[in-house]
Structure 1
Amino acid sequence: MKLITCILGENECLAFLIGTHIYPCDKVDKYLPNTMDRYLLTDHTVKTAMREAYLSLCTATTNSTPYTIDNTIINAPVPRPGSLRDAYAFRQHVYTSRRNRGLEMIAEFDQFPVFYFSNHRAICGPGAVACMPKHFDKLDFELEVAIVIQKQGRNIPASEADDYIAGYMIMNDISARTLQMEEMKLNLGPAKGKDFATVIGPCLVTADELEKYRVDPPKGHVGATYNLEMSCSVNGKLVSMGNLRDMDWTFAEIIERISYGVDIFPGDVIGSGTVGTGCFLELNGTGKLNDPDYKEQWLTEGDEITMNVTGLGQLENHIVRINN
């Protein structure tokens, strides 16, 4: 299924997305959940009924709807995560970023997946991303994929962890690099460099939709792995390309690490970390390493950011400035 959270009238609504057409779930069947929060908390029986309703709409020839992505406000598919964690799963990004700073690759990367907590109350969907003046000092995008958890668990082995994933989304971890680097000199963070905006969307895609893209995980690893091309353009110019299959730690292994000694809950969102070439910090560092006169690029007011991931759709945002 492809599920979105949209605004109809003045109400938040969970809806099926089929092509460009939007079908509010509770209009398809009054017994289906009408918000993402309720969907994630519902049991397997209801989720199965939703999938059957979705497949029926996909094959029907007479169903019509007045709602499309062009005439409807689309929010983040999971507008109120219970928590937000971001991992560090792509070796290429880690290696290149460290090399550009004159650092050796850190051995601990291969020992366990790491993550940090970000602000789960600063979630954005498609559309405007509001930034304060200090954020514009080296403002950056980060091209990622995120998952959302669908059931509670603790000490989950990687071999079972994929069952806890409700679906996948594109994620843009907006970053204010100067704030981030200043605070991380104190061996804490990132915090203020990350806590003002994380974008997810445009829809939540369940794993069955991605099965045709499934490939073997990296050697020695466990968990669902998908051949999904990832790209980011800024103002229509392609700046980043990668692939989700290049995650060196799978989401299943990340869940195993995260759930060690603690519960995870429906609605928790977990990011993959930045794909190789997936941010200006890495791209600028490589450019300056190869050419001392390389002109750095950062996001500015009015910039249009477009991210595409195979099977997950297209996430579009633009940067706006606010002063308070």
Structure 2
Amino acid sequence: MRFATYEYEGVERAGVVRDGVVHPLPEQVTVLTLVEQEALYAAGAEALSAASELTVAQVRLLPPLKPPSIRDFVGFEAHIEGVSKSLDGLEHVPQEWYRAPNFYFTNPHAAYGAHDDVPVPAGCSVLDFELEVGAVIGRSGRDLTPEQAREHIVGYLVFNDWSARDLQKPEKNLGLGFSKGKDFANTLGPYLVTADEVEDRRDPDGFLDLEMTVTLNGELIGRDTLANVSWTFEEMIAYASRDAWVRPGDVLGSGTCGWGALAEHWGRLGERTPPPLTPGDEVELTVERLGTLRNQVVPGRADVYLPRARKRGRTPRP
């Protein structure tokens, strides 16, 4: 099933999408609530049993659910190589990367819908996209094994982890992780596609073989498969749940696929081709079986708030 959250005539609702038709769920029912109650399939079947004339073209798609948290992994070796060359001039993968699937927490309150305009963040002149797949947790768990983790995945969605590369660089030098270079936007959607819809694309090693493509202003510039990720989602979830809880609605990103971001192109080509995103550019990210995100970049705010640190003015007390 494909679950959507949408806006129609000024009202936000949730529904199930089949063949381009939106079958509304009862008022006040959210996708997250159904995930938390493990009632997604039953509610979806009931909604699909009722006729509907509402189409996807008539609504504004919002993020399918409001995730309590978003963990974003860096799971594709090819992406690490390309971006490393772009940032440091060396096409290499740190040995620490191979040790375990690394992730950071990003902003769950910065989500945009599948076709929303995305503004350039303040102070950014090197805007980039990142093509990923997100796994959505359907059941609470802690200290899970990979085998147990599979039963905790309720579905998947397409995830664009937008990046302000010029804001990232000074943040990287501080060693605390990303902040304003990342927390301004992520696109989730277009639907929450339940796990059973892609299970037949699992290869013998447990990886989902789903084609991932990105086009910029109508031109195809990147293609990969989710099967090239270095850890399965089950392995990533097991690692994330070590000494910690994963909760219903949490999103775990795969990391950017090979050729899934401009920075990777810049590193491999040695020049900024294609150039950083500017207002008017349209980015289209597609993952087989999961759908397409299509966002246009628009101008953002012009003012930049940068509170400078005060230098120490007196000797500290012992």
Q: Once the 2 structures are TM-superposed, how far is the Cα of residue 211 of structure 1 from its aligned partner? A: 1.9
Question: Which stretch of structure 1 is more off in the superposition, 278-287 or 94-103?
Answer: 94-103
Q: Is 1:118 aligned with 2:98?
A: no
Residues 1:94 and 2:89 are matched in the alignment: no
Q: Residue 231 of structure 1 contacts residue 308 of structure 1 at CA under 8 Å; is this kept in 2?
A: yes
Q: CA-to-partner distance for each residue in 1:32-84, whole Å, 9 max, x for gaps?
A: x82112111113xx334235447x65xxxxx6422111111110112x21011
Aligned to 1:221: none
Task: For 1:71 and 1:161, locate their aligned partners in 2 and report how far apart those are by CA, in whole Å.
Answer: 37
* SS class of match (1:240): strand
Q: Kindly report which structure 2 residues correspond to 1:1-324, keeping only aligned pairs within 5 A, or say none.
A: 1-26=1-26, 34-43=29-38, 46-50=39-43, 52-53=45-46, 57=49, 64-78=51-65, 80-100=66-86, 101-102=89-90, 104-126=92-114, 127-135=116-124, 137-217=125-205, 224-288=206-270, 295-323=273-301
Q: 8 Å contact 1:12–1:35 — kept in the other structure?
A: no
> Residues 99 and 284 (structure 1 numbering): CA distance in 2 closer, same or farther, change over 3 Å?
closer
Q: How many residues align?
A: 299
TM-score by length of 1: 0.87
C-alpha deviation, 1:103, in angstroms: 5.2
Provide the secondary structure at the position in 1 that maps to 2:168. Answer: helix
Q: What is the alpha-carbon root mean square deviation over aligned residues?
A: 1.9
Quote the offset at 1:99 in angstroms.
4.4
In 2: Cα distance, 1:11 partner to 1:149 partner: 27
The one-letter code sitting in structure 1 at the alignment partner of 2:134 is A
- Is the CA contact (8 Å cut-off) linking 2:131 and 2:256 kept in structure 1? yes
C-alpha contact (below 8 Å) 1:99/1:105 kept by paired residues: no
Is the 8 Å Cα contact of residues 16 and 44 (structure 2) preserved in structure 1?
A: no
Structure 2 residues without counterparts, runs of 5 or longer = 304-318
- State the Cα distance separating 1:90 from its structure 2 match: 0.7
The secondary structure found in structure 2 opposite 1:260 is coil
With normalisation by structure 2, the TM-score equals 0.89
Give the Cα separation in 2 of the matches to 1:171 and 1:134: 24
Once the two structures are TM-superposed, the CA of residue 214 in structure 1 deviates from its matched residue by 1.6
Task: State the percentage of identical aligned residues.
Answer: 34
Distance 1:104 1:200 in 2: 30
Q: What 5-or-longer segments of structure 1 have no aligned partner?
A: 28-32, 58-62, 218-223
Q: Give 1:70's aligned amino acid.
A: A
Check the 8 A contact 1:15/1:34 in 2, yes or no: no
